[in-house]
């Protein structure tokens, strides 16, 4: 059976995933096209997807406080910012 993760912990895990996307190693070999490498892009986008999946249902739960809902909005904004900074 799957382990239930509390909402506060999910928010922390989502932020860690975003940080992992920043830390994801860029291929150093010039023949691998650096940031244009498809496996690099896929790896970063997968981390963003995992972060979104971690928090996407928090705001729909009846126990979610307005502060938690605001944190979820901030996470989505952080993901969009990180996407622009890392991949563009």
Per-residue pLDDT of the chain (88 residues), as tens digits, is 668 889 999 999 999 999 999 999 988 877 767 778 899 999 999 999 999 999 999 999 998 999 999 999 999 999 999 999 999 8
Q: What is the pLDDT of residue 88?
A: 87
Q: What is the pLDDT of residue 1?
A: 67
Full-prediction pTM beyond 0.75?
yes
Q: What is the pLDDT of residue 37?
A: 87
Q: Which residue has the tokens 């928010």?
A: 11
Token pair in block for residue 24:
């994801």
**Residues near 54 by beta carbon (within 8 Å), at least 6 away in sequence:** 10, 11, 13, 14, 17
Domain boundaries, the chain: 7-25+32-87
Dist. CA 70–CA 88, nearest whole Å:
27
Dist. CA 11–CA 22, nearest whole Å:
17
* 49 in Cβ contact with 18 (< 8 Å): no
């Amino acid at each position: 059976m799957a382990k239930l993760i509390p909402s506060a912990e999910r928010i922390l895990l989502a932020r860690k995933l975003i940080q992992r996307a920043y830390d994801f190693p860029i291929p150093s070999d010039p023949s691998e096209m650096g940031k244009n490498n498809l496996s690099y892009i896929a790896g970063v986008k997968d981390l963003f997807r995992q972060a979104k999946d971690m928090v996407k249902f928090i705001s729909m739960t009846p126990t979610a406080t307005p502060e938690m809902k605001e944190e979820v909005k901030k996470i989505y904004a952080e993901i969009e910012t990180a996407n622009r900074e890392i991949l563009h």
